[in-house]
Amino acid sequence: MTFATWITFVIAACIIAVSPGSGAVLSMSHGLSYGVRKASGTIVGLQAGLLLVLAIAGAGVGSLLLASEVAFNVVKTVGALYLIWLGFSQWRAKGAAGPGAQVVQTEAPSLRRRVLTGFLTNATNPKGIIFMVAVLPQFIAQDHPLLPQLLILAVTMCTIDLMVMHGYAFLASSMQRFFRDAKAVKAQNRVFGGLLMGVGTALFFVKRSSAHA
């Protein structure tokens, strides 16, 4: 892999990370609800899911998945239903009374649960698999060992995504002062819950042919 190829991948990875998606929505939601520090667990989970998608694409399993209508639809349905369930859970979440007249968000889930939520959000996203299968081969030199190149691409993408997702979480957490009463907390839950359900619903319309566009 040449330096020019790597720089091109860095630019592509930045565009991918910044583009709004389920990971960005989840990072903002947890950043606003629990603060940046606790949202970091969610973001680490997102990176674990991203690594799995990279491994699937790099191993060629993604191509086999896209070649099978049944397998692709299973992954797509699981991913869509998971995001819809996640969004519905947040839609119904309630704030808990805090000191004085303030209202704070319900206690954050355990670190394990936050990491798992992030992992499943990326790992069950068929759009991520489609993108990686379609784009990743363009940055891999066929006359060089595959594993070192995949490691470089994985570290690069996860580093960029970590920074961007933490940026989303920080921006959201900076707005916490505007969400200190019951009505504001309820509105926040419904906005992010609705966004997650919307992203999940959109996954039902993802087609295998998108990988060949």
- pLDDT tens sequence across 115-126: 999 999 998 887
Q: How far apart are the first and last CA of the chain?
A: 25
pLDDT higher than 60, residue 67: yes
- Region 71-82: mean pLDDT is 77
Question: Which residue from 41, 118, 129 is spatially nearest to 82, judged by alpha carbons?
Answer: 118
Range of weakest confidence among 49-53, 102-106, 141-145 = 102-106
* Long-range contacts, 16-21 (Cβ 8 Å, 24+): 16/131, 16/157, 16/161, 17/157, 17/160, 17/161, 17/163, 17/164, 17/165, 18/164, 21/125, 21/127, 21/199
- Region 196-207: mean pLDDT is 77
Calculate the average pLDDT of the chain: 79
